[in-house]
Amino acid sequence: MTNVTRGGAAVLIAGAALFGLLSCGTGSPQNGGGQPAASTSPEATPPSKTSPSITAVTPSANQLPVALSPATGETIPWKLVKVDEEKNRIYLSAGQVGCAVPSVVHLQEKPSEIVIAVSGAPSSASGPCTAQKVSLVGYVQLSGPVAGRRIVGNAA
């Protein structure tokens, strides 16, 4: 049997405590480690189709204001986030460009393609542009399935 002095015991206890702190939150879900539980919400499922830069799940989003007419004037670039073929929705995002704040999605459904354009209004009716960055994130509801139609428009 080995004799352990008080100083040696203190070093062993401190080392064990330090090891426990360093490994906190790295355990697997099976052993109750620090990993968060996966959500089973239908809006938190991995996207079926995404743009190459999107790797995260799509958060729940709001339906965007839609105009069924073509956009007139300048449009704001948008990014495709997700195509939900079960709910016939296209998720997209657009950010403020200069003084133009994204506000309306123009949607035209044709037999072979879906045309999307985002238009905006000046951030301030009077005076200079605001320094606040405004984004538009959400989905547009299609009248029918995507069914292989191309999604086109002023995508970023």
Q: In what order do the strands lie in the sheet with 89-95?
A: 62-63, 135-141, 89-95, 78-84
8 Å CB contact between 115 and 107 = yes
What is the model's pLDDT at position 110? 94
Closest Cα partner for 136 from 53, 88, 76, 83?
A: 76
Does residue 25 come out as left (phi exceeding 0), alpha (psi in the -120 to 50 range) or beta?
Answer: left
Instruction: Calculate mean pLDDT across residues 120-148.
Output: 81
Residue-level pLDDT at 30 = 44
Q: For the chain, give the mean pLDDT.
A: 71
Integer Cα distance of 112 and 69 in angstroms: 17
Band (pLDDT 50/70/90 cuts) for residue 46 is: very low
pLDDT in tens, 51-106: 555 444 445 679 898 999 888 878 899 999 999 999 999 999 998 888 788 889 99
